[in-house]
Chain A
Amino acid sequence: MPNASTAMAPQAVQSMAQPKVEFQRLGKRFHRGSEAVTVMEGLDLTIREGEFVCVVGPSGCGKSTLLNMSAGLMRASAGKVLYDGAPVPEPNTKVGYITQKDNLMPWRTVKANIELPLQIRGAAKAEREQRVKEMIQLVGLAGFEKALPSELSGGMRKRVTLARTLVYQPEVIFADEPFGALDAQLRAIMQQELLRIWSASKSTVVFITHDISEAVALGDRVVVLSARPSRVKVDVPIDLPRPRDLSKLRFQKRFNELNEYLWSVLAEDLNAGDEV
């Protein structure tokens, strides 16, 4: 149901920036044995350059599928995914991809893990050293260069993943519930870090989460997906001023209004999502 005209809902703001990623009438169907499950149908969404877009939705609505298709790791069953106006390459090497899992190479040290994308892209040794050093500083891992992922805490591993993604300066960073596995305190710290890094790099971020307050706190826009088969239910601009101090955000009236509004939109679909 097109719901964006509720009193609480802010009016969409037309951005002047170029469209970076476009999903047009996107559909995805999975075959599980003999039965087919339609995860997504007729999903339209445009992500513009430099935007921080958060995507929320009931579980099983294909949020991760959306990212996999954007990264060119999975094909759409219907519709199109455009990147810079052209069909998305397979895989899309201009983007960075952070998943819930760390996906670090367990046999590589922190430094070697962060260096990996630069090695693959054939950067010169001196440049690699320099960039890796900067990244380690940026994510606050100085002193842990020689540690193996197994010797790090969950939060530190997440920082390594972040550094490894940022080190090759991807145009768009796709993050699939990157902080989902962290405890509340650590998550708050990582969220603030991510905002700091994003505002410094000005890359485009697509951030998938099931946590509405996280979406509101971080995003320029929050896109709510419906239950399966999913499409965009509402697309809400977040008019909270930047830079944002996440620890104080929850005392702001506007933050709570947006949270409440998004909750009410999402709640309609929560039960429906479980039935499928």
Chain B
Amino acid sequence: MKKVADMIDVQAVKAPTHPVTATSGESEETVWLDTPRSGRDRWLHIGAIQFGRLGMVAVLLAVWQVASGRWVDEFWISKPSAIWDVLWGWISRGEILTHLEATLTEMALGLFFGALGGVVFGFVLGRVKWLAELIDPLVTAVYSLPKIALAPLFILWFGVDLLSKVVLTAVVCFFLVFYNTYAGVRAVDDDLVDVVRVMGGQRSDLLLKVVLPSSATWIYTGLRLAVPYALIGAVVGEIVASNKGLGYLLAHAAGTFNTSATFAALFILMIIATFLNFLVDWSEKITSRRQ
């Protein structure tokens, strides 16, 4: 499975081998490391940066608000106050909860089943070399297919409800977790396996005490990559065909030429994606500290 291994290396570069600071905290962290500041100066510095960021967003929104209807037709770019009205409407009517719940459920279920399948499949193919060799071309072919292109098929098969999106999300996540798990299991040091065999280790010992812990970082990398893709899978599935969810909200708004609602839906997606990134960075900090 040479080709497979090549693909994995690309992803392996992103493996959490050393603690990476979250993007949001990077600027003050680096400045602080280069020029050590005393306690009060440091807080002033952090405060100034945060204030500056807020100011930047405020200026951007203000320019947008002013430009809209004056220099650019409001039809194309809407305006922040109108977007806020739509957002607030969704929130106050509680409508947003239905959509959020739908998208997050699809994401969570898809991620769970996709990751589970990826880990199991990766383990089996990683350990059973002839099987890996046998189905390598098949796996590579399916992997090469843009998974998003499967959305219409899944909707045909599983309907416009939850199931079709869960399946699409699961397929997208499956490959990320599978390839990383597979690479991790293949990367297990044979000498460690031999050492444990001479110690009297049975098959189960080899799996639980050598293969699993040594491929854990790889599996984790796969999971980390899969999280943002789970959002993509769920939203694209909804855009193609659905009656609820953030993707539906987005597609419906754009379909009815409602620019404000389109921006509002994008804004919610941005918030969710940022939050997911934060979660991933945070879990990475926790795990890298443990290593």
Chain B residues 196-236 with CB under 8 Å of chain A are 196-201, 205, 209-210, 213-214, 216
Chain A nearest CB from B208 CB (Å) reads 10
Is B191 positioned at the interface, with any CB of A under 8 Å from its CB? yes
Complex contact B192–A91 (CB within 8 A): no
- The residue that A73 contacts in the complex, of B192, B198, B205, B214, with Cβ under 8 A, is B198
Contact (A121, B192) CB under 8 Å given A107-B213, A107-B214, A116-B209 = no
Complex contact A116–B196 (CB within 8 A): yes
Complex contact B213–A93 (CB within 8 A): no
Chain B nearest CB from A60 CB (Å) reads 19
| Interface size range of chain B in the complex | 10 to 19
Is B153 positioned at the interface, with any CB of A under 8 Å from its CB? no
Chain A residues 83-142 with CB under 8 Å of chain B are 91-93, 95-97, 99, 101, 103, 105-108, 116-117, 119-121
- The residue that A121 contacts in the complex, of B197, B200, B216, with Cβ under 8 A, is B200
Give A168 to B291 CA distance when docked, in angstroms.
Answer: 27
Contact (A103, B201) CB under 8 Å given A116-B209, A120-B209 = no
Give A97 to B189 CA distance when docked, in angstroms.
Answer: 16
- The residue that B191 contacts in the complex, of A103, A107, A117, A119, with Cβ under 8 A, is A103
- The residue that B196 contacts in the complex, of A72, A106, A120, A148, with Cβ under 8 A, is A120
Chain A nearest CB from B19 CB (Å) reads 14
Is B194 positioned at the interface, with any CB of A under 8 Å from its CB? yes
CB contacts (< 8 Å) of A116 on chain B: these are: 196, 199, 209
| Interface size range of chain A in the complex | 20 to 34
Give A119 to B195 CA distance when docked, in angstroms.
Answer: 14
Complex contact B197–A117 (CB within 8 A): no
Which of B189, B191, B192, B195 has the most chain A CB atoms closer than 10 A to its own CB?
B195
Give A96 to B195 CA distance when docked, in angstroms.
Answer: 9
Complex contact A120–B199 (CB within 8 A): yes
CB contacts (< 8 Å) of A99 on chain B: these are: 191, 195
The 9 closest A-B pairs by CB, nearest first: A93-B200, A117-B199, A91-B197, A97-B198, A103-B195, A107-B213, A120-B201, A91-B198, A103-B191
Known: A93-B197, A103-B195, A120-B201. 18 other contacts (CB 8 A): A71-B194, A72-B198, A73-B198, A91-B194, A95-B198, A96-B198, A97-B194, A97-B195, A103-B191, A105-B192, A105-B209, A106-B214, A107-B216, A107-B291, A116-B196, A117-B200, A120-B209, A121-B200
Interface residues, chain A, with chain B CB atoms under 8 Å away: 71-73, 91-93, 95-97, 99, 101, 103, 105-108, 116-117, 119-121, 148, 168
